[in-house]
Amino acid sequence: MQLIIDSLPLLWSGLLTTFKLAILTLLLTAIISLFVGIMSVSRYRLLRILALIYVEFFRDIPLVVNLLFVYFGAPLIGLSLDPFSAALVSFTTWGSANGSEIIRGGFNAIPKHQRESALALGLRPSETLFMVLLPQIVLPILPPFTGLFSLLIQATSLASMVGATEFLRTAKIIVERTTLMTGESPAFMVFGFVLCVYFCICYCLNLFTAWLERKITVARTVHQNDSASDDEHGAAAPASAGKA
Amino acid sequence: MSETQSTQTGHASAIRVEGLNKWFGSFQVLFDINLTVENGERVVICGPSGSGKSTLIRCINALEDHQQGVIEVEGKALGHDSTSVYDVRTEVGMVFQHFNLFPHLTILENCILAPTVVRKTPRKEAEATAMHFLEKVKIPEQANKYPIQLSGGQQQRVAIARSLCMRPRVMLFDEPTSALDPEMIKEVLDTMVALAGEGMTMVCVTHEMGFARKVANRVVFMDAGAIVEVNSPDAFFTNPQNERTQAFLNQVLQH
Ligand SMILES: Nc1ncnc2c1ncn2[C@@H]1O[C@H](COP(=O)(O)OP(=O)(O)OP(=O)(O)O)[C@@H](O)[C@H]1O
Ligand SMILES: [Mg+2]
C-alpha cells in the first residue's frame, strides 16, 4: 500500500497521459464517426464508396496490428510519429470505422417516411439531415457508442506497447523498478490498483450515459408544462381506448 | 387560405400533368398520365393496389422524379433542377398514410419547423399560425405533447395542420385514413371535409367512397399505371363507364 502511495505522483502523471489520450481519442472518434457515418448514407455514390472503404479497411485489422503498423510504418512514408500520436491515430481510425457503422445503423433504422415528409414540407436535404434525422438517432446510438467508448478507453492501455508512458506503462515501470530494488514483486498489488482505476473510469462513463439516456427519454415523452402524473394519465388514455 | 389562392397565378391551373411517363428501372409504372386540377377543385384518385396512385401524387411534389412529360404546379414547371423542386414543394402540402410526425419534437415544434426554417417566419408568428391550425383540427390542447402521446387520429390531424402551416396552395393526401382504427377515421375525414369547405385545392388518394361522394368534384380511376376513367362522383358511382371501374367498385362497395 505504502508503495502505491509513494508512487502516486508517477502514477498520476501516467493517468493524466491516459486521460489525455482517451479524451482526444473519444472526441476525434465522435467527430470522424459522424462524418463518415453521414457519408455512408449520402445520396452520392462516390461518398458512400469512400466511406465503405474506410470502414472495411480499419474494421478488419486488429487494433494492436493497426497500432504497430502506424507506429512502425509511418517512418516509411516519411512521417515520424511519437508513441502518443501513433496511438491516437490508430485508436481514432479504428474507433471511427466502428462508430460510423453505429451511426449508419442509426440512420437506417429511421423509417424512410420521416425523410420524405421533411422534404415534402420543403426542407432541404441538409436541413432534413440536421434537424429531423440526426436528432432521432441520438437516443438509439447512445448505448452502442458507450460500449465503443468504453472499449477505446480500455484500448488506450495498448499504447504502452509502442512506448507511450501512459497509466499502464508507469505501473509496469514501478513494478519492474521495485522488483529490481527489493527483490520482491509488487505486481499483484500494483496491477490490482490499475484494474480498479480502469474499472472506475469505465463504470463512471456507463453511469453517465445511462443517466443521459434517461434524461433524453424523459424529456421527449413528458408533457412539457404539466406534471409527470398528469402525463402518465395522458399517455395511458389512447392505449386503453384501443383495447376497449 | 382561400384568400391566398386567388392571387398572382389565379389564371394558372393548380396542377397540370401532361404526358407523364415514369419507370422504376425498366418497369414502367405510369403510362401517359394527363390530369389537370383547377384551383379550388377536389379530386379523388382511386384504383386497385399497385396501380400507381401513390407514385403519381409523389411525382407531383418530386418525391419521385419522372422521366417523361410535364408537371406544373401553379404554373411552375417541375424540372430536374433543385430550385424548381423546392419552389413546387413549398406550394404543395402532403399528408401520408403513416402520419410521420417527427418524434423528437413536440406537436407545436413539428408545426413550426418548416415555416421557421424554410419560410424564415419569426418563431412567435409561426407559433401563432401553428396554434391557429391546431385549433382548426381541434387539438390545440395537445400542442406541448410529443407525437407518441397522441392517438393515430390525433397524429394524422396534426400532420394535416403541420402541412397547412406552410400555407400551401395544394394539398395532396395519400390514403390518409387507411392506417387508422375505424373509430378514428371519421375525425380525420371530418377535418378534410372542413378543409375542402374552405376552398382548398385537394388531390386525395382514398378508398373512402363516402368522402369521395361528399367532397370530390371529380373521381379519377387508375388501373395498371394508367388513368382509366375520370368522372363526376355521381356518374362514377352510379354509372361507371369502364368495366374495370365496375369490377373495382363492386369489390370496394361490398366491404
Ligand atoms: N421505389 C420503387 N421501386 C420500384 N418499384 C416501385 C417503387 N415504388 C412503387 N413501385 C411499384 O410501382 C407500382 C405502383 O406503386 P404505387 O405505390 O404507386 O401503387 P398504389 O396505387 O399507390 O398502390 P397501393 O394502393 O397499394 O398504395 C407497384 O407495382 C409497385 O410495386
Ligand atoms: Mg399507395
The ipTM value here is: 0.89
Q: Domain A24-165+189-230 belongs to what topology?
A: MetI-like fold (1.10.3720)
Q: Which residues of A touch B90 (CB under 8 A)?
A: 122
Residues B190-233 have pLDDT tens digits of 999 999 999 999 999 998 888 999 899 999 999 999 999 898 88
Do A122 and B113 count as a contact with CB atoms less than 8 A apart? Answer: no
Is residue A212 over pLDDT 70?
A: yes
Predicted local confidence at residue B157, as pLDDT: 94
Q: What is the mean pLDDT of residues A216-223?
A: 73
For B97-145, how does the pLDDT look when each residue is reduced to its tens digit (9 = 90+)? 998 999 999 999 999 999 999 999 999 999 999 999 999 999 899 999 9
Exposure string (b/e) for B67-104, b if CB count within 10 Å is 16 or more?
A: eebebbbbeeebeeeeebbebbbbbbbbbbbbbbbbbb
Tell me which residues of chain B have a C-beta less than 8 Å from any C-beta of chain A: 61, 63, 86, 89-90, 92-94, 96, 98, 100, 102-104, 106, 113-114, 117-119, 144-146, 148-151, 154, 159, 162-163, 166, 181
> What are the C-alpha distances in Å from A44 to residues A49, A50, B85, B137?
9, 10, 18, 40
Return the SS3 of A237.
helix
Say if the Cβ atoms of A116 and B100 lie within 8 Å.
yes
Record the pTM. 0.84
CB contact under 8 A, B100 and A131: no
Contacting A residues, span 183-212, partner chain B, CB-CB under 8 Å: none
- What stretches of chain A show up as alpha helix (H) in DSSP? 2-40, 45-59, 63-73, 83-109, 112-120, 125-127, 134-155, 167-182, 187-221, 228-243
The answer to whether B97 and B175 are in contact (CB under 8 A) is: yes
Q: Which of B55, B56, B222 to mutate to test the pocket of ligand 1 (most atoms within 8 A of CB)?
A: B55
Nearest residue to B204 (alpha-carbon basis) of B171, B167, B163, B159:
B171
C-beta of B22 in contact with ligand 1 (< 6 A): no
Domain ranges of chain A: 24-165+189-230
* Closest-CA residue of chain B to A233: B149
Which helix (H) or strand (E) segment holds residue B253: the answer is helix B243-254
